[in-house]
Amino acid sequence: MAVLIDGKAVSMQIKDELKQKAAELKAKGINVTLAVIQVGDNPASCVYVRNKKKGCEYIGIGSLSYELPEETTQMELLDLIQELNGRQDVNGILVQLPLPSHIDEDTVIKAIDPSKDVDGFHPQSVGALCIGQPGFVSCTPAGIIQLLKRSHIDIAGKECVVLGRSNIVGKPMSLLLLRENATVTIAHSRTKNLKEVTKRADILVAAVGKPRMITRDYVKKGAVVIDVGINRDENNKLCGDVDFDDVEPVCSAITPVPGGVGPMTIAMLLHNCIESVSLKD
Ligand code: GUN
């Protein structure tokens, strides 16, 4: 039987550590505040944003909420970001994605002051990660590293295969695994002989957004399987990119969906908010 990697428990442990750190900062007169911007009312975004604000409340940091209508122009959004960039009392700025199609996400991400980029999406943050300099790291991949470390799973020297090459998960995930001295392969929709490639993995990270795509014939016996997917199946049931029931008997450890990677993203966002104090110039 595989070990179940409990993201809910690990994220709670991290949030409790952050609660302590927030209290220590407060005692020194430092109040941390996250500004959260949502444009439109995408139902999934509403849930994520609500949970992010609840997370701030739990660890004892402030949150400012900007819920803007769908028709907000790019210029209006950029003006708000400029205002928040200049505010001394705002440490982190998060613009929930996706944005409505009339707004260019890259332009918006680039407008955020890198010292407040708690999502780690700004090109400067990504570049810093690439060359091993201090900066914010994208929350989901950072959370996966924490999950592995706190579950006592060694990364150094391991064959890691990251399935998916998005800017938010796949690319930063591979850079973080490399930083931990793994041998890293990025596989994607154009990879030839995909099963042969994923079967090399000691640690397989699935971030493809395809419900239950990864069955046991993609997985080496005894591998660690990390499922980043949050999908709805044909019965509207929440499921990952991994076919859990099929894969669980052949792997050594696996993350469930829900309760695996998901809760770690918010924990690492809160971590970045606390870290913003020391990254401030
Ligand atoms: N949309 C889905 N995931 C994320 C995230 O981690 N940050 C932001 N800003 N938007 C998202």
96 Cα to the center of ligand 1, angstroms: 5
Contact 97 CB / ligand 1 (< 6 Å): yes
Residue 167 pLDDT exceeds 90: yes
Of the chain, the percentage scoring pLDDT greater than 70 comes to 100
Query: Are the C-beta atoms of residues 240 and 231 closer than 8 Å to each other?
Result: yes
Q: How confident is the model at residue 165 (pLDDT cuts 50, 70, 90)?
A: very high
User: In which band, very low, low, confident or very high, does the pLDDT at 281 lie, cut at 50, 70 and 90?
Assistant: low
Query: Distance from the CA of 97 to the center of ligand 1, in angstroms?
Result: 5
CB-ligand 1 contact for 94 (6 Å cutoff): yes
Find the 168 Cα to ligand 1 centroid distance in Å: 8
- DSSP state letter for 2: P
Q: Which of 136, 127, 138 is nearest to 278 (CA)?
A: 136
Residue to mutate, 53, 81, 97, ligand 1, most ligand atoms under 8 Å from C-beta: 97
* CA–CA dist 44, 16 (Å, integer): 26
CA atoms of 268 and 139, how far apart (whole Å): 5
> Is 124 a catalytic site residue?
no
Instruction: Examine the pLDDT at 279 and tell me if it is beyond 90.
Output: no
82 catalytic? Reply is no
Q: Which of 48, 122, 264 to mutate to test the pocket of ligand 1 (most atoms within 8 A of CB)?
A: 48
Q: At what angle do helices 123-130 and 170-179 cross, to 10 degrees?
A: 30
pLDDT exceeds 80 at position 76? yes
Cα 109 versus chain centre, distance: 16
Check pLDDT > 80 for residue 280: no
Is residue 8 among the annotated active site residues? no
Task: Indicate if the pLDDT at residue 233 is higher than 70.
Answer: yes
Ligand 1 centroid – CA 64 distance (Å): 17
Give the end-to-end CA distance of the chain in Å, rounded to a whole number.
Answer: 49
Q: What is the mean pLDDT of residues 238-266?
A: 98
Residue 1 has a pLDDT of 87
| Strand bridging mode 238-239 / 231-232 | antiparallel
Question: pLDDT tens across 169-221, in order?
Answer: 999 999 999 999 999 999 999 999 999 999 999 999 999 999 999 999 999 99
Q: Which atom of ligand 1 is nearest to the CA of 139?
A: 6
Q: Which atom of ligand 1 is nearest to the CA of 45?
A: 1
pLDDT tens digits along 93-128: 999 999 999 999 999 999 999 999 999 999 999 999
Q: Would you say 233 and 210 are in contact if contact means Cβ atoms under 8 Å apart?
A: no
Rounded distance from Cα 266 to ligand 1 centre (Å):
10
pLDDT exceeds cutoff 70 at 257: yes
Average pLDDT over residues 138-148: 98
Encode pLDDT of 19-49 as tens digits. Answer: 999 999 999 999 999 999 999 999 999 999 9
Q: Which numbered atom of ligand 1 lies nearest the CA of 97?
A: 10
Q: Edge-to-edge, what's the strand order for the sheet holding 62-68?
A: 62-68, 33-39, 92-95
Question: Over the chain, what is the mean pLDDT?
Answer: 97
Determine how many CB atoms are found less than 10 A away from the CB of residue 222: 11
**Alpha-carbon gap, residue 78 to 39, rounded angstroms:** 12
Q: At what angle do helices 262-279 and 7-27 cross, to 10 degrees?
A: 20
Task: Give the pLDDT band (50/70/90) at residue 228.
Answer: very high
